[in-house]
Amino acid sequence: MLQTTGTMVRDTAPPLDKLARPLRDLRISVTDRCNFRCGYCMPREIFGPGYPFLPRSLILSYEEIARLTRIFARLAVVKIRLTGGEPLLRRDLETLIAQLASIEGIKDLSLTTNGALLDAPKARALKAAGLGRVTVSLDAVDQQTFAAMSDSLLPVSRVLDAIAAAHDAGLIPVKVNMVVRRGMNESSVVPLAAHFRHTGVIVRFIEYMDVGQSNGWRLEEVVPARSIIEQLQTQWPLEPLPARYPGEVAKAWRYLDGGGEIGVIASVTQPFCGSCNRARLSSDGKLFTCLFAATGLDLRALLRAGSDDETIMQAIRGGWLRREDRYSELRTHVSKPNSRIEMSYIGG
């Protein structure tokens, strides 16, 4: 059923894939480049000098991204998250944000960043352009562990300042994502949680995942979400909170003393494929229906061949209707694909 709203014809219900999962959430990568070399995402031995990053000519323009987003909005997508690589490496990102913020039907516009380029003026500019909130990746609050995880010389204080700047600019709730990797930063769980208690910042602890081909993932390096909660419970009593919306990936917990809330994302030990409503658009215009996919639907080719919006919308709809991805649920029962896209290419 279609609903006409102003000049936009919008589906009142999203398409459902083969497992009856709706399309609601679109992650858009605006660049495949990053200024960090985190071992779980862009290890330096792979993504070092000479790595063939995408040339500018193959990357979607802001106008192309906005056009595709309008088409996704017609398919009842309501959430947009800008990712990378590091999205703030893309020049004048505020221009794109202003275009996306004006699209009817988009209710949640956010951005994930490592914080290196997010200072107070930039945070205010992003907010003024129409950005709703930010998530900052931060894997430790002490300099030594932070440097080891990010493979960067950046002072961790700069990322902490970025989080404060985002909060002050009203990009709230600010969320902090910590990937927990055994043998690397599991001892940073409590210090990071302590740093953000009573600040309004929501920390989310993420199980180390086997995304892409380059991170050398091993199951024994995963710190289960259950263990993370138990570690935090030794310091502060917590109670679970109900899910706020269908498809929410983080399980939320509240400090009983009023210190705020945290979340855990347990995609390895407690897969949530059954409620996954996310699609991902790479910076060169390919649509992926799973973070662990090997191939995507080339929307850039349709755009640059002169296809009209209806043709592109039907291609997107058809791709979603054929979707049956549930890799995390099958992880221990299937062999790892020989080819799989890197997280830096489509965002987390």
Question: pLDDT category, 245, cuts 50, 70, 90?
Answer: confident
- The full set of domain ranges for the chain reads 2-346
In the predicted model, what is the mean pLDDT of residues 193-208? 97
Give the span between the Cα atoms of 38 and 152, in whole angstroms. 8
pLDDT at position 6: 45
Q: Poorest-confidence range of 156-165, 177-186, 324-333? A: 324-333
pLDDT at position 4: 45
Return the axis-axis angle of helices 62-74 and 93-101, rounded to nearest 10°: 20
Identify which has the larger pLDDT, 321 or 275: 321
pLDDT at position 267: 85
- Tokens found for residue 174: 């600010």
Q: How many CB atoms lie within 10 A of CB 63?
A: 12
pLDDT tens-digit map of 258-295 = 999 999 999 888 877 888 999 999 999 999 998 878 88
In the predicted model, what is the mean pLDDT of residues 62-73? 98
Amino acid in the structure at residue 14: P
Question: Which residues 6+ apart lie within 8 Å of 347 measured at CB?
Answer: 27, 28, 29, 81, 83, 84, 85, 112, 280
SS3 (DSSP) at 128: helix
pLDDT at position 240: 96
pLDDT tens-digit map of 226-236 = 999 999 999 99
pLDDT above 90 for 135? yes
Give the span between the Cα atoms of 151 and 39, in whole angstroms. 7
Question: pLDDT category, 302, cuts 50, 70, 90?
Answer: very high
Question: pLDDT category, 5, cuts 50, 70, 90?
Answer: very low
Share of the chain above pLDDT 70, in %: 91
pLDDT above 70 for 54? yes
User: Would you state the CATH architecture of domain 2-346?
Assistant: Alpha-Beta Barrel (3.20)
pLDDT above 90 for 66? yes
pLDDT tens-digit map of 203-229 = 999 999 877 666 667 888 999 999 999
Give the span between the Cα atoms of 322 and 330, in whole angstroms. 18
Classify the C-alpha dihedral 162-167-172-177 as positive or negative: positive
Question: pLDDT category, 9, cuts 50, 70, 90?
Answer: low
pLDDT tens-digit map of 11-35 = 557 899 999 999 999 999 999 999 9
First to last CA, the chain: 32
> Average pLDDT over the chain, rounded to whole?
91
